[in-house]
Protein backbone atom coordinates (compact mmCIF):
# COMPACT_ATOMS: atom_id res chain seq x y z
CA UNK A 1 0.00 0.00 0.00
CA UNK A 2 1.21 3.49 -0.81
CA UNK A 3 2.19 5.71 2.06
CA UNK A 4 0.39 9.06 2.26
CA UNK A 5 1.72 11.83 4.48
CA UNK A 6 0.16 15.22 5.19
CA UNK A 7 2.54 17.89 6.44
CA UNK A 8 0.10 19.62 8.72
CA UNK A 9 -0.24 22.79 10.79
CA UNK A 10 -3.42 22.68 12.87
CA UNK A 11 -3.54 26.48 13.10
CA UNK A 12 -3.98 26.74 9.31
CA UNK A 13 -7.49 26.53 7.88
CA UNK A 14 -6.29 25.15 4.54
CA UNK A 15 -4.31 22.46 6.34
CA UNK A 16 -7.31 21.52 8.48
CA UNK A 17 -9.44 21.40 5.31
CA UNK A 18 -7.05 18.99 3.58
CA UNK A 19 -6.89 16.86 6.74
CA UNK A 20 -10.70 16.65 6.86
CA UNK A 21 -10.79 15.46 3.24
CA UNK A 22 -8.19 12.80 4.01
CA UNK A 23 -10.07 11.67 7.12
CA UNK A 24 -13.32 11.38 5.16
CA UNK A 25 -11.63 9.48 2.31
CA UNK A 26 -11.04 6.32 4.33
CA UNK A 27 -7.45 6.21 3.11
CA UNK A 28 -4.67 5.43 5.54
CA UNK A 29 -2.31 8.34 6.06
CA UNK A 30 0.23 9.76 8.44
CA UNK A 31 0.10 13.26 9.93
CA UNK A 32 3.41 15.05 10.28
CA UNK A 33 3.10 18.13 12.46
CA UNK A 34 6.12 19.72 10.85
CA UNK A 35 6.28 22.64 13.30
CA UNK A 36 6.80 20.25 16.23
CA UNK A 37 8.77 17.73 14.15
CA UNK A 38 10.72 19.83 11.63
CA UNK A 39 12.11 18.33 8.46
CA UNK A 40 15.86 17.95 8.21
CA UNK A 41 17.79 19.03 5.12
CA UNK A 42 17.65 15.55 3.54
CA UNK A 43 13.88 15.33 4.08
CA UNK A 44 13.40 18.84 2.70
CA UNK A 45 15.41 17.99 -0.43
CA UNK A 46 13.42 14.79 -0.99
CA UNK A 47 10.11 16.60 -0.53
CA UNK A 48 11.14 19.45 -2.84
CA UNK A 49 12.08 16.90 -5.51
CA UNK A 50 8.61 15.33 -5.23
CA UNK A 51 7.02 18.78 -5.40
CA UNK A 52 9.28 19.74 -8.34
CA UNK A 53 10.06 23.02 -6.60
CA UNK A 54 13.10 24.99 -5.56
CA UNK A 55 13.40 25.86 -1.84
CA UNK A 56 12.51 29.51 -2.48
CA UNK A 57 9.24 28.39 -4.09
CA UNK A 58 8.18 26.66 -0.86
CA UNK A 59 8.44 29.83 1.24
CA UNK A 60 5.29 31.42 2.67
CA UNK A 61 5.81 35.02 1.68
CA UNK A 62 2.87 36.27 3.75
CA UNK A 63 4.47 35.18 7.03
CA UNK A 64 5.64 38.02 9.27
CA UNK A 65 8.98 36.28 9.74
CA UNK A 66 9.57 36.35 5.97
CA UNK A 67 8.59 40.00 5.71
CA UNK A 68 10.74 41.03 8.68
CA UNK A 69 13.89 39.02 7.98
CA UNK A 70 14.06 37.77 4.40
CA UNK A 71 12.03 39.92 2.02
CA UNK A 72 14.13 41.72 -0.64
CA UNK A 73 17.32 39.88 0.37
CA UNK A 74 19.54 37.92 -2.00
CA UNK A 75 19.26 34.35 -0.70
CA UNK A 76 20.53 31.28 -2.52
CA UNK A 77 18.50 28.09 -2.82
CA UNK A 78 20.97 26.34 -0.49
CA UNK A 79 20.54 29.10 2.07
CA UNK A 80 16.75 28.77 1.77
CA UNK A 81 17.06 25.08 2.67
CA UNK A 82 18.78 26.00 5.92
CA UNK A 83 16.27 28.78 6.61
CA UNK A 84 13.32 26.41 6.07
CA UNK A 85 14.92 23.82 8.34
CA UNK A 86 15.40 26.37 11.12
CA UNK A 87 12.05 28.13 10.54
CA UNK A 88 9.45 25.54 9.49
CA UNK A 89 6.69 28.16 9.89
CA UNK A 90 7.93 29.48 6.53
CA UNK A 91 7.04 26.24 4.71
CA UNK A 92 3.95 26.49 2.52
CA UNK A 93 1.11 24.26 3.67
CA UNK A 94 -0.51 21.85 3.59
CA UNK A 95 1.67 19.44 1.65
CA UNK A 96 0.39 15.97 0.80
CA UNK A 97 2.89 13.34 -0.28
CA UNK A 98 2.27 9.97 -1.90
CA UNK A 99 4.97 7.73 -3.32
CA UNK A 100 7.21 9.80 -5.59
CA UNK A 101 4.92 12.83 -5.85
CA UNK A 102 3.69 15.60 -3.59
CA UNK A 103 1.46 18.67 -3.89
CA UNK A 104 0.78 21.82 -1.97
CA UNK A 105 -2.92 21.33 -1.30
CA UNK A 106 -4.16 24.83 -2.02
CA UNK A 107 -7.07 24.73 -2.24
CA UNK A 108 -7.50 21.72 0.06
CA UNK A 109 -9.72 20.06 -2.55
CA UNK A 110 -6.60 19.57 -4.69
CA UNK A 111 -5.97 16.37 -2.72
CA UNK A 112 -9.07 14.76 -4.26
CA UNK A 113 -7.70 14.33 -7.80
CA UNK A 114 -4.13 13.91 -6.51
CA UNK A 115 -5.14 10.86 -4.46
CA UNK A 116 -7.94 9.75 -6.82
CA UNK A 117 -10.55 10.13 -4.10
CA UNK A 118 -14.03 9.40 -5.49
- Domain of residue 108: give its range: 4-114
pLDDT at res. 2: 77
Residues 30-83: pLDDT tens digits?
999 999 999 999 999 999 999 999 999 999 999 999 999 999 999 999 999 999
**Angle CA(50)–CA(44)–CA(11) in degrees, nearest 5?**
100
The phi and psi torsions of 116 (rounded to 5 degrees) equal 55, 45
Selected catalytic residue, list 12, 51, 110, 117: 12
Q: How many contiguous H segments (helices) and E segments (strands) does the chain have?
A: 5, 4
Across all residues in the chain, what is the average pLDDT? 96
Burial of 36 (0-12, 13-18, 19+ CB in 10 A): exposed
Split into its structural domains, the chain has a count of 1
Determine what percent of the chain is predicted with pLDDT higher than 90.
97
12: annotated active-site residue: yes
- Sheet (strand 95-98) strand order: 30-33, 4-8, 95-98, 101-104
Q: Is the pLDDT of residue 1 over 90?
A: no
- CATH number of the domain at 25, please: 3.40.30.10
Quick one: DSSP state of residue 71? Answer: T
List the Cα angle 99/17/115 in 5-degree steps: 25
pTM: 0.93
Amino acid sequence: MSKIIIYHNNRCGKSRGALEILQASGLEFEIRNYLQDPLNITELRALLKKLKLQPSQLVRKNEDLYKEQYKDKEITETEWLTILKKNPILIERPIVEKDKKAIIARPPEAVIPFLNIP
